[in-house]
Amino acid sequence: MSDYYDVLGVAKDASQEQIKKAYRKLAREFHPDVAGPGAEDKFKDVGRAYEVLSNAEKRRSYDMGNDPSAPGGGMGGGFGFQDIFETFFGGGQAQRGPIPRARRGQDALIRLDIDLADAAFGVRREIQVDTAVVCGTCSGSCCRPGTSPRTCDVCNGRGTVQKVARSFLGQVMTTAPCAACQGFGTTIPEPCAECAGEGRVRSRRTVVVEVPAGVETGNRIKLTSQGEVGPAGGPAGDLYFEIRERKHEMFLRRGDDLHATLEVPMTAAALGTVIELETLDGLESVDLRPGTQPGQIITLKGLGIGHLHVGGRGDLNVHVEIQIPTALSEEQSDLLRQLSVLRGEERPEGRVSAAHPGVFTRLRDKLSGR
């Protein structure tokens, strides 16, 4: 641990005024602008010693054998090394030079509503968007036609100005953005009347969006450099379309598969039949085998949603629901009684088994949050 009293060259019983005076003298002597870059470590040591000895509590702890300073710690009273270097070196602004007037524009996000069929097969859409475009009058120069930017008379094109400030180290030079040109280094003496010197205007234009098969709610489609043009005709940002899929009245989507419920009469399920079902691809024949049971799933391969970026399609799963008649005529009732006699079911014995809801019921309950 360094002897901070030796670093500042003061006695252990030195007063705060003596410590401050010694620090100011050494800080000026070892400042890198005066002594060169090689003195930077010594300058930091002096600052670290002052940080400890200028604070009564830290000095008391140091005198007891502890070192309360931290690497890069403050220089007393909340004035740290970062503040010192920014004061002397201008915080980096002077090193960057003037700020470019032309800057990248913002990204834009637009919601795009699509139908289930659009998600299944993909779709090409033309969308009207209101956005910033390069000013057609000044072509992004911000100036009235025939004029040009002028070098700032205050900062001479540097974009920054230097000011003398007083501190406990004496007079120091600070650097700040030029207020006359806002740091650009140039001024616009005669702004373009069309864009008010912005170099861009608001306009409505048409963009084409290729929606690939397989997209779903929450997916985003990026159109590079189709967003807002930046100030002074700077590069455009990106344009994003966020997909929102409309709910379908017949089909329920689960991933790339579709699910639908097919209600059939009890007799059709018992005897078997062929039913025409309207799908996203048009009419398809659904073959009900004799003895089809409630909850049975008939899968129509390749009639679901297209797989995103990989080709192929999911399936359409048809969940069979049996309709039990609730109002029978006397003749119909007689026929069913005769059938029950023929099948030996006039006095059926109940058979209990474990409850297990159908696949579609479980799927529906999960999606509805039940």
Q: How far apart are CA 284 and CA 281, in angstroms?
A: 8
Contacts of 57 (CB under 8 A, 6+ apart): none
Rounded Cα distance between 118 and 261, Å, is: 22
- Residue list, annotated binding site: 135, 138, 152, 155, 178, 181, 192, 195
CA atoms within 13 A on the CB side of 107: 11
Binding residues for Zn(2+): 135, 138, 152, 155, 178, 181, 192, 195
Report the alpha-carbon distance of residue 154 to residue 12 in Å, rounded. 51
**Local structure of 66: helix, strand or coil:** coil
Query: How many residues are there in the chain?
Result: 370
278 strand-pairing partners: 283
C-alpha–C-alpha distance, residues 178 and 155, integer Å: 6
Percentage helix, strand, coil for the chain under 3-state DSSP, each rounded to 5 = 30, 30, 45
